[in-house]
Chain A
Amino acid sequence: MKFLDDSLLKFDQEVATPEDAIRLAGGVLLEEGTIDRQYIEAMIQAYHENGPYFVLAPAIAIPHARPEDGVHEASVSCIHLKEPVSFGHQSNDPVKLIFGLGAASSQEHVELLRKLTRVLNNQEYVKRMEQASSFEEFSKIFRESDIT
């Protein structure tokens, strides 16, 4: 399982479109070797087919596809955007934090989602992620919140 390690975080990124944001979040997973390139296209396709329902909370998007689209290991990345971008969601736009989810079919996938849910249920952590002013400050939140 790869859960928001420093190598899976990108801070203060600039994107023009939701698709760019998804590519960035997926690109980090690809570099880490936890997904295949085709998984990124599947994430974008899922967005186009099913809409922005994965913008699960104000400012938070969790794009993902299916395990069979090319996932080697349960993993999640996080992109912090310099300027938020709109995904077209009715109530949770604009998006500032993108958690790219490599959805596996293993028990690890369930554990990973449990950890992610525990972090994001904490509104204090989320506020600090959005307002972080440096990579160090941003990364520190995940070290504190890394409940094993």
Chain B
Amino acid sequence: MIKVLTVCGLGQGTSLILKMNVETALNEKNIKADVEHMDVSAASSTPADYVVTSSELADSLKDHSGKVVIVKNYFDMEEINQAVEENFTSS
């Protein structure tokens, strides 16, 4: 099972929205994943395979061991599906 973090500035609102849509996209592709939402500073010290966030916050996460995946429009399932398809491999 892969470990995915969805990240926003506070870890309360927008990262939870992103988690919901990322889980939907992963389910569709039958990729089994544990998706957790959190703020940037918590994410920096949490190991994961993938970190999904906005371009605004990606810079603060560039040292993360996981692959950073950027989503521009959190409500565009086409973009999120495509980001998952291009970046995620199931394991």
Interface residues, chain A, with chain B CB atoms under 8 Å away = 46, 49-54, 56-58, 60, 62, 64-67, 89-92, 101, 103, 110, 113-114, 116-117, 120-121, 123, 126
Contact = CB atoms under 8 A, between A and B. Distances in A.
Contact of A46 (B10, B16, B21, B73): B10
Main secondary structure of the interface of A (DSSP, over half): mixed
B67 to A, nearest CB: 19
B75 A53 contact: no
Interface residues of B, number: 22
Contacts of B14: 53-54, 56, 62, 64
Contacts of A52: 56
Interface of B: 8-10, 12-14, 16-17, 20-21, 40, 53-57, 72-77
The CB with the most chain B CB atoms within 10 A, among A54, A101, A123, is that of A54
Contacts of A53: 8-9, 14, 53-54, 56-57
A16 B16 CA distance: 30
A29 to B, nearest CB: 13
A56 B14 CA distance: 8
A58 B72 CA distance: 9
Contact of A54 (B13, B55, B72): B13
Given A113-B20, A117-B75, A121-B77, A91 B13 contact: no
Contacts of B10: 46, 50, 64-66, 103
Nearest to A54: B14
A66 B12 contact: yes
